Chains A and B, each alone.
Chain A
Amino acid sequence: MGNLLEIELKQETFVTPAQEKEGQTFLSGAQAMMECLLAENVDTIFGYPGGAIMPTYDALYDYIDRINHILVRHEQGAGHAAQGFARVSGRTGICLVTSGPGGTNLITPIADAIIDCTPLVCIVGQVKSNLLGTDAFQETDMIGVTTPVCKWNYQITDPNEVPEIMAKAFFIAKSGKPGPVVIDFARDAQAAKMTKPFVYKKVEKMVSYNPRVVPKQEQIEKAAELINKAKRPYILFGHGVLIADAVQELLDFVEKTDIPCASTLLGLSAMPNNHPNYMGWLGMHGMYAPNVMTDECDVLIAVGMRFDDRVTGDSTKFAPQARIIHIEIDPSEVDKIKKAEAPVIGDAKEALKMLMPLVKKGDFTGWKNEFRKLDVKEYDKVTLRDLSQEGKIKMAEVVALLSDKTNGEACIVVDVGQHQMVTARYYQFKKANSFIASGGLGTMGFAIPASFGAKVGAPDREVVGIIGDGCFQMTIQELGTIAQSGLAVKMIILNNNFLGMVRQWQQLFYDNRYSFVELQNPDFITIARGFGIDGHTCSQRETLSDSLDKMLESKKAYLLEVIVEKEENVFPMVPAGTSVSEIRLE
């Protein structure tokens, strides 16, 4: 690090008790790492030990009264758990794993976290620095492997670097557009003593990285002018609102302007679903009116969202008539997919706060009614059928019933596929940070680890994982973690014995050629019991309500398997690559 890279430092410093005790000897790299975690108020880490990270695990042994370590069963589980933790709590998730396979097993969560903007600090062991590049035992070039999928990475080979690098790591992970940071920690740097006292200074700014939080006034004024002139304005909000903790600001803005709004998949729960201005969520399997009305609005106000292809379909045909205001913290997202007439670079919370005094009080009753007219169409064609209570149990009724029973206040963690889309459609969210899903990467196997991670992050909340039978088997071993850590996570398997979403596509677009989508499933309840988790199966509609009650009343972890209709399709659907106006209701 050259002298010019010096960072502006906060005057807060820590001299640790451990250091005083040890007198003249300085901390080891591993001890310094623990002190860094404490300085950043970390109380929970998810990890799995191994050869190259042993000095750090040894140091951790002296900190178990202050740092809760959750021992997972596979490093991928550690990563997704840290994501669940971060998403529900707004704090940075920490993973601690060994080199080689430990690190490579973490790649999927890292890739998931970068695309879904989740702050993670992943501490990965590395072989001794004199062995680097020699194909040593369990050596993987983690810097090379993670560069395309992480926000920042750094290899620590000197214990003296630990405080400065960790301070940067925490700052980078959490600030701007959050993302995963990988610290490749050489074994000798963990074991060796520092040659100077441990001093931790939190980083709040860096020369080369200083994302803008407060937008420029002229951008705000331009946006306000567009909003005030609009006849049919429409707000699309995304995950950025939750990340920026701008839930109240969004609500205030919507209530003052009376503009109808819709959420992206990851923006779900940022707005109470029963709010009169909330029109639903949009996207490939989103709701009919929010999708179709993107073609009708004159001004589109995009808040903390990035026009993902699952939102826009064919982006050239997405809202071509609309003048777009794009409130976004990352300048590289502006104009990436849709050209914004009024970009607002900054944090969603600050932007909405600054817009508030400049926008007029509005009344868009007529315009909102146009949405409601379309809702009727969706209700007749889709919702009625999904909730018809005919034939076998349908996913939608399970979710709708759960939503009623939990009063829309549970934290819902979903996996990827049909059950994910159905949950997004039928759970009526009332509380923020209540929908945790792998949206961008679409990682099957996300939900079991993410749900116990969420439970750790929000122990007082009811956390319910809604999981497909295919997904469940991708990280099924994490039931062991749930049992060992005594986490009262509730899990529902919506079992249709199919990889349902792929099957749906094969049915609709591949002429019913069901290529490798049917599963021969194990007895999930027996497996759960084997891990020490109680559960039962429900296959009859008459017992569904009692089954959900039993699960929700359990004081411990519980698995409810619901046997659902085998060949059910999720509608509405915007077929991939088409325009949202081609949305199908059946």
Chain B
Amino acid sequence: MTTYTICVFTENTIGLLNKITIIFTRRRINIESLTVSETERKGISRFTIVIKHEKREEVEKLVRQIRKIIEVLAVFGYLNEDIVYNEIALYKISTPLNGKSVDVETINKVYKAWVVYWGLDYVVIEKTGTETEIFDFFRYIKPHGIIEFVRSGRVAVGKTPQGLIEYLPEEITEWEYYL
């Protein structure tokens, strides 16, 4: 299984998420993570979708089918080595009065994580990093007792000198797709 990151640029209209995800459903491809937000260009949304797949050509077909949706402006498919990517995770850690105190220095220096909220008997730690880094820290902090843990979807930018948005049609250009 290879991890692919698919970046989709669309018009920011109602129902687009459904139109995109239904293509994955139909081809029986599970979505590992998904992040959507508006880009620096007003009215354009950017979807970052992570999937695992054995066959590159199937992913290429998927990319082309996503491109077919009328409101989709461009689709890019990436392997991990083509992109810089990160996720963010929040860990709500139990810190009872008589319990073991959290080692903030190790958390900061070794794990590059930050305490973002101090509750009465818990703290919330924020960490950004790859999936592996987030789970490494999870294993480290687990003995303290994890009350709640949440991980965002991946965000990614390509390792090319230009921004993806430069590929987008500002006016009428051609029906393009990339992988």
**Chain A residues with a Cβ under 8 A of chain B:** 1-5, 8, 143-144, 147-148, 151-152, 155, 172, 205-212, 330-332, 335-336
CA of A211 to CA of B176, assembled, Å = 9
Q: Once the chains bind, are B61 and A210 in contact (CB under 8 Å)? A: no
Q: Once the chains bind, are B61 and A5 in contact (CB under 8 Å)? A: no
Size category of the B interface is 20 to 34
- In the complex with contacts A205-B172, A335-B61, A2-B71 CB distance below 8 A: no
Which residues of B from 34 to 67 have beta carbons under 8 Å from A? 41-44, 57, 60-61, 64-65, 67
- In the complex with contacts A2-B11, A5-B11, A209-B70, A332-B64 CB distance below 8 A: yes
Q: Which residue of the partner chain, among B14, B44, B172, B177, contacts A210 with CB atoms under 8 Å?
A: B172
- In the complex with contacts A4-B43, A332-B67, A208-B72 CB distance below 8 A: yes
- In the complex with contacts A2-B12, A4-B43, A5-B11, A331-B67 CB distance below 8 A: yes
The 7 lowest CB-CB distance pairs between A and B, nearest first, are A2-B43, A332-B64, A152-B70, A4-B43, A205-B172, A208-B73, A209-B70
Shortest distance between the CB of B168 and any CB in chain A (Å): 9
Q: Once the chains bind, are B172 and A8 in contact (CB under 8 Å)? A: yes
- In the complex with contacts A2-B43, A4-B41, A210-B22 CB distance below 8 A: no
Most buried by A among B11, B26, B177: B11
- CB of B112 within 8 Å of the partner chain: no
B residues within 8 A CB of A212? Answer: 174-175
Q: Once the chains bind, are B68 and A330 in contact (CB under 8 Å)? A: yes
Besides A4-B44, A207-B169, A335-B60, 4 other A-B contacts (C-beta < 8 A):
A4-B42, A147-B15, A206-B70, A335-B61
Which residues of B from 50 to 96 have beta carbons under 8 Å from A? 57, 60-61, 64-65, 67-68, 70-73
- In the complex with contacts A143-B15, A144-B18, A207-B73 CB distance below 8 A: yes
Shortest distance between the CB of A308 and any CB in chain B (Å): 16
B residues within 8 A CB of A207? Answer: 73, 169, 171-172
CA of A205 to CA of B174, assembled, Å = 11
A residues within 8 A CB of B10? Answer: 208
Shortest distance between the CB of A449 and any CB in chain B (Å): 27
- CB of B162 within 8 Å of the partner chain: no
- CB of B19 within 8 Å of the partner chain: yes
Q: Once the chains bind, are B61 and A2 in contact (CB under 8 Å)? A: no
Shortest distance between the CB of B9 and any CB in chain A (Å): 9
- CB of B160 within 8 Å of the partner chain: no
CA of A3 to CA of B171, assembled, Å = 12
Q: Once the chains bind, are A148 and B22 in contact (CB under 8 Å)? A: yes
CA of A143 to CA of B60, assembled, Å = 27
CA of A53 to CA of B14, assembled, Å = 23
A residues within 8 A CB of B14? Answer: 155
Shortest distance between the CB of B120 and any CB in chain A (Å): 40
Q: Which residue of the partner chain, among B42, B169, B172, B174, contacts A2 with CB atoms under 8 Å?
A: B42
Shortest distance between the CB of A6 and any CB in chain B (Å): 9
CA of A208 to CA of B174, assembled, Å = 9
A residues within 8 A CB of B60? Answer: 335
- CB of B106 within 8 Å of the partner chain: no
CA of A208 to CA of B68, assembled, Å = 10
- CB of B173 within 8 Å of the partner chain: yes
Most buried by A among B18, B26, B64, B72: B64
- CB of B13 within 8 Å of the partner chain: yes
Shortest distance between the CB of B43 and any CB in chain A (Å): 2
B residues within 8 A CB of A147? Answer: 15, 18-19, 22
Shortest distance between the CB of A316 and any CB in chain B (Å): 13
CA of A336 to CA of B177, assembled, Å = 15
Q: Which residue of the partner chain, among A3, A8, A205, A336, contacts B61 with CB atoms under 8 Å?
A: A336
Q: Once the chains bind, are A208 and B57 in contact (CB under 8 Å)? A: no
B residues within 8 A CB of A206? Answer: 70, 172
Q: Which residue of the partner chain, among B26, B41, B71, B177, contacts A208 with CB atoms under 8 Å?
A: B71
Q: Once the chains bind, are A3 and B42 in contact (CB under 8 Å)? A: yes
Q: Once the chains bind, are B57 and A210 in contact (CB under 8 Å)? A: no
20 cross-chain CB contacts under 8 A: A3-B42, A3-B43, A4-B42, A4-B44, A5-B43, A8-B171, A144-B15, A147-B18, A147-B19, A147-B22, A148-B22, A207-B171, A207-B172, A208-B11, A210-B169, A212-B174, A331-B64, A332-B65, A335-B61, A336-B64
Q: Once the chains bind, are B61 and A151 in contact (CB under 8 Å)? A: no
Most buried by A among B64, B67, B175: B175
B residues within 8 A CB of A332? Answer: 61, 64-65, 67-68
CA of A332 to CA of B71, assembled, Å = 16
A residues within 8 A CB of B67? Answer: 331-332
CA of A77 to CA of B14, assembled, Å = 31
Q: Once the chains bind, are B18 and A210 in contact (CB under 8 Å)? A: no
CA of A516 to CA of B73, assembled, Å = 49
B residues within 8 A CB of A209? Answer: 70, 175
Shortest distance between the CB of B116 and any CB in chain A (Å): 34
Closest to A7 in B: B172
CA of A212 to CA of B57, assembled, Å = 23
